[in-house]
Amino acid sequence: MTVLRHKDFQGSVDFVDGHLLLQILHIDDVITTEVDRASEAQGAFEELVDDYLSTCAETGTEPCKPFKGSFNVRVTPDLHKQVAMAAAEERVSMNAWIEAALESKLGDRTHERLAVK
């Protein structure tokens, strides 16, 4: 699967039955289109996202924003213990410690996304 980006949306590109199937990811609706050539994928995805946003505006609905900033992560009991102890040593909450770890892992990608907003 190839991933595309336009505005604040991500999309997938998959090869299905001789065509490239594009889909907007991370929304409740299933919105897709097909193209024949890889060179058409980015432009078609941008049009798909723009049409989705236009339709939302015309119908007075908010575009789907599935990221609320809260999610469950399952880890081993030992890793949970290590994180709790590391957070306590740094005198921060586990949430703050994990958020910093995620930001560190994403590195420059986080800063690029913040600049786009």
My answer on whether 51 and 87 are in the same domain is no
Give pLDDT tens digits for 76-85. Answer: 999 999 999 9
| Relative orientation angle of helices 108-116 and 94-106, to the nearest 10 degrees | 90
Instruction: Report whether pLDDT(117) > 60.
Output: no
Average pLDDT in the chain: 89
- pLDDT at residue 107 tops 70: yes
Asked whether residue 105 is assigned to any structural domain, the reply reads yes
Query: Do 8 and 37 fall into the same domain?
Result: yes
Residue type (1 letter), 6: H
Residue numbers of the domain that contains 45: 2-59
- Domain-embedded: residue 14: yes
- CA 70 from chain center: how many Å? 14
Q: Is residue 69 part of a domain?
A: no
| Number of structural domains found in the chain | 2
Q: Can you tell me the mean pLDDT for 21-49?
A: 94
How many CB atoms neighbour CB 22 within 10 A?
A: 24
Report the alpha-carbon distance of residue 71 to residue 73 in Å, rounded: 7
What CA–CA distance (Å, rounded) separates 1 from 12? Answer: 6
Claim to verify: residue 87 and residue 45 sit in the same structural domain = no
Tell me if 50 sits within 8 A of 58, measured CB to CB.
no
Rounded to two decimals, what is the model's pTM? 0.68
Say yes or no to pLDDT of 109 above 80.
no
Give the tokens for residue 75.
């880890």
87 in any annotated domain: yes
Choose the weakest-confidence range: 26-30, 35-39, 74-78, 113-117. 113-117
Residue 88 within a domain: yes
Please check whether residues 42 and 82 belong to one and the same domain.
no
